């Protein structure tokens, strides 16, 4: 059995469709239910539905052989895994944003609300800017509106959430896409099968 960790939600649906297209469909996954493990014995695959930011830890620790995680999550948790392929989906950007009309006070540390603590620290360290990180887990856009932070470091896809909350992008930090990752020892033992999957996924994502 090859265990594949899919990120629950929108990206997971897209990723599953890619796997189905290359010959690993699993009809159970298309049903609307609360199951988290889906097995397709004939095809020798088991899909695990996990929180997007947890995919890397499942793969690093070998609970999954393969997984798909956003570059944002990988840069944040820096797991010891192989990154096999950029799937070219789940495209978004990590940006710095602030309320419209915000003017930075250079005389004090910048208060940065984010779920990407390491990414934010690295970015501001590279600019020699002192910051105070306010770690949040979601609805990051609220922080500067309520004065909890000066700016946010967050992902944006359509820009809709920023716009509707009257925030504007100050800087682009980096582009994000979904990556296929593999457990290191799992890759050694199942190399042939994983390479075949990478080859097929390369084909279908190039289309």
The residues that touch ligand PRP, with contacts defined as CB under 6 A, are: 138-141, 154-161
Report the Cα–Cα distance between both ends of the chain, in Å, rounded: 28
Per the structure block, which two tokens stand in for 87?
Answer: 């799937």
- Give the residue with the Cβ less far from ligand PRP, 76 or 141: 141
Helices (H), 32-159: 55-60, 71-77, 117-126, 142-145
Chain position carrying tokens 């457990």: 183
Comparing CB distances to ligand PRP, the nearer of 131 and 140 is: 140
Compute the least distance from the CB of residue 190 to ligand PRP, in Å: 31
CB of 58 to ligand PRP, least distance (A): 19
Considering the complex, state which of residue 151 and residue 155 has its C-beta at the smaller distance from ligand PRP: 155
Q: Find the residue with minimal CB distance to ligand PRP.
A: 138
Strands 131-135 and 178-182: unpaired
Is residue 44 within 8 Å of 1, Cβ to Cβ? yes
Closest contact distance (angstroms) between CB of 93 and ligand PRP is 9
Supply 66's token pair.
């393969």
Cα–Cα distance measured from residue 8 to residue 20, given in angstroms and rounded to the nearest whole number: 16
Residue showing tokens 């890619």: 18
Decide whether 57 or 194 has the Cβ nearer to ligand PRP: 57
| Least separation in angstroms between CB 54 and ligand PRP | 14
H or E stretch including 203? Answer: helix 191-206
Q: Which is nearer to ligand PRP, 87 or 95 (CB)?
A: 95
In whole angstroms, how close is the CB of 1 to ligand PRP at the nearest point?
30
């Amino acid at each position: 059995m090859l265990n594949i960790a899919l990120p629950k939600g929108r990206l997971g649906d897209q990723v599953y469709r890619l796997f189905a297209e290359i010959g690993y469909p699993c009809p159970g996954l298309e049903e609307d239910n609360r199951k988290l493990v889906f097995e397709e014995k004939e095809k020798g695959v088991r899909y695990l539905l996990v929180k997007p930011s947890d995919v890397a830890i499942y793969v690093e620790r070998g609970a999954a052989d393969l997984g798909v995680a956003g570059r944002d999550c990988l840069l944040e948790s820096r797991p010891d895994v192989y990154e096999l392929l950029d799937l070219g989906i789940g495209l978004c950007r990590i940006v710095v944003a602030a309320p419209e009309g915000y003017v930075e006070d250079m005389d004090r540390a910048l208060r940065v609300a984010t779920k990407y603590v390491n990414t934010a620290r690295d970015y501001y360290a590279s600019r020699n800017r002192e910051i105070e990180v306010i770690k949040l887990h979601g609805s990051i856009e609220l922080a500067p509106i309520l004065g909890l932070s000066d700016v946010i470091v967050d992902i944006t896809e359509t820009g809709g959430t920023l716009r509707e909350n009257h925030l504007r992008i100050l800087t682009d930090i980096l582009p994000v896409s979904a990556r296929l990752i593999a457990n290191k020892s799992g890759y050694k033992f199942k190399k042939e099968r994983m390479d075949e999957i990478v080859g097929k996924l390369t084909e279908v994502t190039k289309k």
